[in-house]
Structure 1
């Protein structure tokens, strides 16, 4: 049997096998026995190994790269593309330090993509250095390189650098426009300002002379921006634009979900329900968006009914769905229903509670004035409670005038903050909250004690501020 035939046979077998099949390792052994080192064949094996959910199997992908006769750039790029982001970054840094490989534009696309999926201070520094190297070596001619750079900067919350890369591009594709619009609409800090910038970019996209047209991804992003701003007129206009130029939005699950979210958050629940009912296909995000909308509008019982309707349609809720359901229970005062739901979410529906879900129950009990139950719930948690839970209970104590419980919770919160290495702002707010609790009970001596303690520790009270939206709708 010729080596070419054996190679083709192995490739065919790899294409037909599931990623978790134990036969992959047998094929790997056959490659070694027969001395087959074809890059396409090794690349397919790398893809299969990287797709495994078991780390010890995924590690075999690196062995495949080392098995090659030389450091093949195609295999190197395949490994960068298929590995988990953190592993890709470490692998690239190791190869870069050795200095025996010449990278191409695909290398930079894959490593910048990994840095975008694993945002941190260190990856931002690495990506910035890569950007400088890309400019120096003139690799920007491939439009996907700067486009991935935009995605990288936006994911690492450096939207100014993302915009600078975008502005410097002489040619832009729909993917490029989507990257910058998504980058603006996904920023949290100062989100209204960035959301408005996303809408302005969408206008610029429509007016661009290149004739690049929006895609479903574009529409989802601008609908999200409109919902963040609460601009119903803009959202309705986007709905009409999608219907006239792209498709019937109810036939696209992602645009339809975006419309449900937009109409709900812009205060038009009936329109959201109408779009939801007309949708031919719904996923868990669609159901969650509708439940969130009902929650926002205080329709707790209707939101819970949607959970059971969701199950009847063969759709399983996820963690975000339960967060919205608990919020609905909070807004509607459905305390017992919320507690029952929490008990059932893991046992009957197979969703493990996370810290946010625990916080929702504390908020639910706190709003109802059941402070002792909330305290016992926190103390009985199987995981260590964070500061957010204690702050929620402290706020409830102030509202319901339980100064004794509030003092107990406040001291626990301050002790927790002393053990952490967070910045000083949360600690300042916690001292102020405890001081306000004492002031509401007219315990002025303790108020003075807390304020003096803040001064000794150098904690400053953050000044309050407010904002007014002045954006002109006609500007769009």
Structure 2
């Protein structure tokens, strides 16, 4: 009987009734244990991913032994928001004493969360971890670094890193990955990623691994520093046996060389990679798109299909971008219409944007206008801004004025008169009037901006 029950637990039950029957059998046969109950909780979350799994909570509430193990399983399996609420509930109103796994799973939930309160809640968990001495645990501290980097607070992550007495390769990777993945201050953070990598090389206790190299290559790509890229590639060749066999390092090298301007070397690396996944193909397609090689990108997509690798949304964004850069209007539209019929996924806002850009830059402004109007659902202002840019490019003042007024109206509806509304759409409309030398209309738009307190953000450039 025990063998049968254990084999049943290895397979996911398909209904809640089956789950309850297994639970009943575990109780009747005396095979109920913390590990089997934890497996039941995991199965229950698999059944009810989008609902609150109340039965899983009942399993925890009706057990008097090994409650911590079951609670940790609940926190690990729950949605990020529910995980944080569970942590808060049991840390203040329960006799259960938390362990390092509890804090690891709670920090992980805050890292995955898209809630605006995730950072504040994570800081509170961090304070608890310091108070109870869990920050001395290597995994807890490493997960804390990961949490802060995911929430855009790299300075806090760095502080936790500097306070650690012992660091593993995962700790170094968390910080380097955090630097290279920040959305702001790209140059500064990418440079800090390379400095951290250099410090890691000087460490006698841990050495970089494949994941480290992938994060460093991402930082080099953002800097566009070809010399540094050559150095990192040389390090990979010397320290990692046959780097072309590692699909992730190979993909990182392709991306790095493409963004550093060496598409020929990227192609050579692509040919050397033994096993290519969708990310590898997409990196090469993206590189060709960056370099305006639309026909080569389309040929690569066809080769990808022959190798039975299904492209993803990013692959098609790159393909359509390549078509836009090289003026392949018919080819781009053909591929766009084949996305759903032949490749099985519906277009997203990025793909619609690429088509608008494709039509607009080719001078088909009316077709682009009609295309936006025909898109189901609410129209994204980004699409209209793309068309407005094309109107200025082709000096179509009539269409530009119409699109500019649509954008201003959209912003007024979204912001409801808020003085913090963005100014770029007013500036766009003003530039259209300036193009036609309609200076009175320019003054009228600028005057409206002053009345609403809208300010133009200063542009800046960085040269490495």
Unpaired stretches in structure 1, ≥5 consecutive residues? 470-476
The CA RMSD over aligned residues, in Å, is 2.1
**Deviation digits for residues 92-112 of structure 1, max 9, x if unmatched?**
233345344321111001100
Q: Distance in 1 between matches of 2:96 and 2:415?
A: 41
SS at match of 2:208: coil
Is the contact made by 1:345 and 1:353 (CA closer than 8 Å) also made in structure 2? yes
In terms of mean alpha carbon deviation, does 454-463 or 424-433 score higher?
424-433
2:105 corresponds to 1:110: yes
Q: How does 1:292-371 map to 2 (within 5 A)?
A: 292-371=286-365
Q: 1:272 to 1:195 in 2, by over 3 A?
A: same
- Corresponding residue for residue 474 of structure 1: none
**CA distance change for structure 1 residues 326 and 118 in 2, over 3 Å: closer, same or farther?**
same
Aligned residue-pair number: 462
Alpha-carbon offset, residue 407 of structure 1: 1.3
- Provide the C-alpha distance between the structure 2 equivalents of 1:206 and 1:223, rounded to a whole number of angstroms: 15
Aligned residue for 1:64?
59
Matched, 1:433 2:428: yes
Once residues 7 and 396 of structure 2 are traced to their aligned partners in structure 1, the CA distance between those partners, rounded to angstroms, is 71
Q: Does 1:389 align with 2:400?
A: no
Match of 1:227 in 2: 221
* Per-residue CA distance 1:335-355 (angstroms, 9 max, x = gap): 111111111101111021111
Task: Provide closer, same or farther for how the CA distance between residues 256 and 18 of structure 1 changes in structure 2, counting only shifts above 3 A.
Answer: farther
Whether the aligned pair in 2 keeps the contact of 1:19 and 1:51 (CA below 8 Å) is no
Counterpart residue number, 1:205: 200
Note the C-alpha offset of 1:18: 4.4
1:171 aligns with 2:181: no
* 1:147 and 2:130 matched: no
**Counterpart pick for 2:43 among 40, 48, 59:** 48
TM-score normalised by the chain length of structure 1: 0.92
Query: How far off its partner does 1:29 sit?
Result: 4.1
Range 20-29 or range 186-195, more displaced: 20-29
Unmatched segments (≥5 aa) in structure 2: none
User: Where do residues 236-255 of structure 1 align in structure 2 (5 Å cutoff)?
Assistant: 236-255=230-249
Tell me whether 1:416 sits opposite 2:410 in the alignment: yes
Task: Find 2:369's aligned residue among 361, 368, 375.
Answer: 375
TM-score normalised to structure 2 length: 0.94
CA distance in 1 between counterparts of 2:87 and 2:290 reads 46
| Separation in structure 1 between the aligned mates of residue 215 and residue 433 of structure 2, nearest angstrom | 45
Q: Does 1:280 align with 2:267?
A: no
- The C-alpha deviation readout for 1:272-330, integer Å capped at 9, x for no partner, is 11111111111100000000001011110110111111111010011111111111111
Q: Provide the rounded CA distance (Å) in 2 between the counterparts of 1:460 and 1:56.
A: 45
The 2-side partners of 1:416 and 1:238 are apart by: 47
Higher alpha-carbon deviation: 347-356 or 147-156:
347-356
Q: Is the 8 A contact 2:152 2:182 kept in 1?
A: yes
Is the 1:108–1:130 Cα contact (8 Å) retained in structure 2? yes
Aligned to 1:398: 392
